[in-house]
Amino acid sequence: MAAPTAITVRGLRKTYGSFTAVADVDLTVDVGEIFAILGPNGAGKSTTVEILEGFRTRDTGTVEVLGTDPASADADWRARVGTVLQTSGFTDELSVREILDHFASFYAAPRDTAELLAAVGLTEKASARARTLSGGQQRRLDVAVGVVGRPELLFLDEPTTGFDPEARRQFWELIRGLRDEGTTIVLTTHYLDEAEALADRVAVLVGGRVMEVATPATLGGRSGADAAVRWVDDDGPHEVLTDRPTQTVGELAARFGGEVPELRVMRPSLEDVYLAMVAASHHAADVERASS
C-alpha cells in the first residue's frame, strides 16, 4: 500500500493577467517526509506554496492539504498546519517567552514554552524583547511559533536565509527532529546543500512547471551520471569522464605505482544538475519564443 498523502495537487494553474505564474503543476507529498521545492526566483514556488497555505486563490486544478481544500480552510485546519513565512515581524516590545505563550494560547494542546525555547536554542533570550533579536534568532522564533501548536504539516519558506553556516546546521538538526516526531515538512529554499541535507524528495520548479521530482541523490540522473576523474602529472592536469571511475582509478594507481598525484573523483553535485535543468529549461523557452 502506498504511503498516506499529506498533499495532493493536480493540474494547478495560476495566472496574473497575461503572466502564468503556475502552469499545470502536479505534486504529491507523503505523510512524514521532508519535501523541498527548488527553483529560481519567479519560478512559481511562492505562489504554489501560498496556494497550499490557503493564502492565495487558484485559477484551476484540485488541491488537497490534509484532506481539505485550503481555499476553504477553517480554524480546525489552521490548527493542524504550521506556517513559517518568508518575512514576518513580531510585536516589538513583547519578550520571546510572551510571544510564544501568546501563540500557544490559540491551540488546544500546544507545546510547552520552556521545552520549545530549549529546542530552538532561545532559552537565554526568553526575557529579551523581540526587537532586540538578531536575524537568526528571529528566524528561530519564527519556527518556534510555527510549531507551537504541534502541526501535522509544516511549511518553511526559505527558513535559513541570512544564517551563518553553524546556525544553519543547528537549524537542520531542529527540522530533522520535527520530522522524526512525524511532522510532514514542505520546504522552499535557494540553498542546494540545504535541500540535499534535509529533503527526502525535491521538486524542481521552473517557469511555473515541475521539471522533475526525485530524491536529491537521483535528481537529473545524478546517480547514473559519468564521474570525472582528475589528476595532475608532469604534463599538467588531466580529466577523464567515465561511467566506471573505480576501474580508472585502479589503472592510474598501477601506472603511478601507488599514490596518484592530486587525485579527485567528482560526481555532479545537486547544484550542477539543478543549474543544468534550469539552463535547459530557459533555453527551451527561448527556442519556443523564437519559433513563435
Partner 1 sequence: MSTTVHPTAPRAGAVRLGWKRGVVELKNTWRSKQSLGFTVLFPVMMLLLFASIFKGTIDFTNVKISQVYVAGIIGSSLMSTGFVGLAIGLAAERDAGMLKRLASTPMPKASFFIGKIVMVLATEMLQIIVLVALGASLFGVKVPGPSRWLTFVWVFGLGTTAATLMGITVGSVIRDAKSAPAVVNLPFVALQFISGVWITVTQLPAWLLGVAKVFPLFWICQGMRSVFLPDSFLVVEPGHSWHHATGALVLFGWCVLGFVLCMRTFRWTRD
Q: Binding residues for partner 1, per CB under 8 A?
A: 53, 55, 75-76, 78-79, 81, 83, 85-94, 98, 102-103, 105-110, 112, 114-115, 129, 145, 149
Q: Which is nearer to partner 1, 92 or 166 (CB)?
A: 92
Q: Which is nearer to partner 1, 57 or 60 (CB)?
A: 57
Closest approach of Cβ 14 to partner 1, in Å? Answer: 13
* Sheet-wide strand order for 5-16: 19-30, 5-16, 60-65
- The cell numbers describing 287, all together, are 527556442
Closest approach of Cβ 184 to partner 1, in Å? Answer: 16
- Cβ(100)–Cβ(173) under 8 Å? no
Closest approach of Cβ 213 to partner 1, in Å? Answer: 26
Short-list 76, 72, 53, CA closest to 7: 53
Q: Which is nearer to partner 1, 10 or 129 (CB)?
A: 129
Q: Which is nearer to partner 1, 77 or 172 (CB)?
A: 77
Closest approach of Cβ 4 to partner 1, in Å? Answer: 19
Kindly give, in sequence order, each residue whose CB lies less than 8 Å from that of residue 73, ignoring residues fewer than 6 positions away.
54, 81
Other beta carbons within 10 Å of 151: 21
Q: Which is nearer to partner 1, 112 or 262 (CB)?
A: 112
Closest approach of Cβ 210 to partner 1, in Å? Answer: 24
Other beta carbons within 10 Å of 55: 14
At 91, give phi and psi (nearest 5°).
-65, 105
Short-list 151, 198, 190, CA closest to 170: 198
